[in-house]
Structure 1
């Protein structure tokens, strides 16, 4: 019997995700029959590859961005997968685009990388948090624009207004507002320390727990909500004592910072909406490193304008890969290009987790180390 066949889909013009620099992946190529196939083909041609072509005996699929960028939904292919297929492995966390239930009905395991990127994503959540409290992104930009003039970069401190056209904060016109012991505002928005404030985390899973550790380390109190509260064994292993709320709506009024760390689902779509925005403390902050669909962005922008929300830090957006241009020039929004997991360490760890998952199913007869369906 030959080595188990693993499909590694590639793009026709480049193979930007190919991790051939990792020794464990090169060993994986020796242990398995890894087939590299371009998916930049018409749907009917791909179907035939699985039905009667050279993919009709594939046992695993290592999913790549080449599949996600298909012109048709990946789920449309499920009915055409061969009976030999036993596992589809995602080298990332999110699996909401893949029909796990349909795969399960075919006896196909869907696996992801578990908590591999948790620490890296949590680092970005911390950076966004500091940005929402201290506006560091804005002041860095002003310092660069002023060619390194500290005085010029700080001239807006104490100001209460923004330019109606550019949305840029204006320097204070009243000399009394230049008293930093009394007025530490930018465009009417207060600069605060996160220490002593309450952070509410929606989704205290592996990523949420790492975020909580970082926010607790800078002096924040931790509250959270999730489907079921943490068990005593989980709580005993934490350096902080989080406060549990039964629902998102119950959590909101008690927090100074809301952090969204949830996957996409029907239950998490537009958690922040025209009704829940009314529950926030005036001047609260919002950070989102989960999925952009969790926020109705029109509602958030209006809340930023009227001061309901002081500031926001966003690494994910509703309409990725593009974002609403209204976010781009706001001083009260820190934006990043979905950067949470982008470290060398994470991509190496993700590769190793994907290898472990496939080995567990094809060699050990397991369900995968990180089964998600």
Structure 2
């Protein structure tokens, strides 16, 4: 099939250079108003598209895949995570699923480190105090926070992003610890002078900062549940730039309200885009609108990866970023 006759439906507005390049290569249907697809609109797109370019806001269920048109051969995810796609159902129907790994690593790690710095030093509270006219001049006891140098950070998920966080944490003098499904190589452990914990419970009970950097999978759903959250020290902070579902949000809010932990920095939420009003009322949290990878560079490179995946598939070549259900 000639590339320019391949029907590519894109579910969200992408960076202009990406959309322009796709329009040059394929028969592209753009989402010019950037409104998230409803289930009906998503079903219609899957019925018509040869290739569907999805994002994390598209909940592509087994039912939708079963009812997709027979011409649909590829779901090219604009994003690293694929927890919004039933990859197994797609594979059973012969639909290839791809993602865009790697290009988000440094930007997400930067945002993680920004939250790790901002939380103990009360940066957002300081900004709010200035804007509210509460600052009356320097005082020895005003806006006291905590230093991070010499503290222990426990990284949950030692993949690309976890390792990038470890690199930054070491530069700021943090002692790096990690828990991962599989232990990383001795060379990586040596690079970050990091300590591996087979037991997540034992690790989090000894850390000053917890950074959540694991993917959202059935195995990591509510990985930090009520019992585990109670293991944290009262002065500990939690930072999550992964997926909201990894933490039991209600249990986290209760712990924050009760002062069982010191604070949380969240870029993701369990019921996005809805934010729990109890979270919004807390003073010991920093809340961001899922902007960990929101840089021009990252989003453009993500689009380039989508294009490469589609081109390789159409040309009959190996798809570089294919997602296999057995690897999730």
TM range (shorter): 0.7 to 0.9
Residue 265 of structure 1 is matched in structure 2 by 217
Q: Which residue of 1 aligns with 2:2?
A: 2
Question: After the TM superposition, which residues 212-251 of structure 1 pair with which residues of structure 2 at under 5 Å, given as runs?
Answer: 212-235=166-189, 238=191, 240-251=192-203
CA distance in 2, matches of 1:247, 1:362: 45
Q: Closer, same or farther in 2 for the Cα pair 1:61/1:43, shift >3 Å?
A: closer
Residue 332 (structure 1) aligned with residue 273 (structure 2): no
Equivalenced residues, count: 320
Structure showing greater radius of gyration is: 1
Cα-to-partner distance string for 1:198-247 (whole Å, 9 max, x where unaligned): 100101111111111111111101111111010235446x3x21111113
CA contact (8 A) 2:55 2:79 kept: no
Match of 2:83 among 96, 99, 117: 96
Matched, 1:135 2:142: no
* Shift in alpha-carbon separation, 1:305–1:18, aligned structure 2, 3 A: closer
2:262 aligns to what SS in structure 1?
strand
Runs (5+) with no aligned partner, structure 2: none
CA offset at residue 258 of structure 1?
0.6
Matched, 1:115 2:102: yes
Q: CA RMSD in A?
A: 2.8
- Cα distance change, pair 215–233 in 1 and its aligned pair in 2 (3 A): closer
Cα distance between partner residues in 1 of 2:324 and 2:292:
21
Please state whether the residue corresponding to 2:310 is helix, strand or coil: helix
Aligned partners of 1:29, 1:216: CA distance in 2, in Å? 44
CA distance in 2, matches of 1:202, 1:116: 20
- 1:234-313 maps to which residues of 2 (within 5 A)? 234-235=188-189, 238=191, 240-313=192-265
Distance of 2:229 and 2:219 partners within structure 1: 17
For normalisation by structure 2, the TM-score amounts to 0.86
Q: 1:369 aligns with which of 312, 321, 325?
A: 321
Runs of at least 5 residues in structure 1 that lack an aligned partner in the other structure: 11-15, 156-179
Give the match for residue 58 of structure 2: 68
The superposition leaves residues 11-58 of structure 1 with CA deviations (integer Å, 9 ceiling, x where unpaired) of xxxxx6143x31x653443333334589669479828x83xxxx3xx5
Distance 1:89 1:205 in 2: 22
1:169: which partner in 2?
Answer: none
Q: Is the 8 A contact 2:189 2:195 kept in 1?
A: no
Specify the alignment match of 2:131 in structure 1: 144
Q: Structure 1 residues 371 and 220, CA, compared in 2 at 3 Å: closer, same or farther?
A: same
Q: Are the aligned partners of 2:239 and 2:265 in contact in 1 as well (CA < 8 Å)?
A: yes
Q: Give the 3 Å change call, closer, same or farther, for CA 260–18 of structure 1 in structure 2.
A: closer
Which residue, out of 99, 112, 116, partners 1:125?
112
- Aligned residue in 2 for 1:357: 309
> Residues 223 and 244 of structure 1 are in contact (CA less than 8 Å); yes or no, is this contact kept in structure 2?
yes
Q: In structure 2, how many angstroms separate the alpha carbons of the residues matched to 1:347 and 1:27?
A: 14
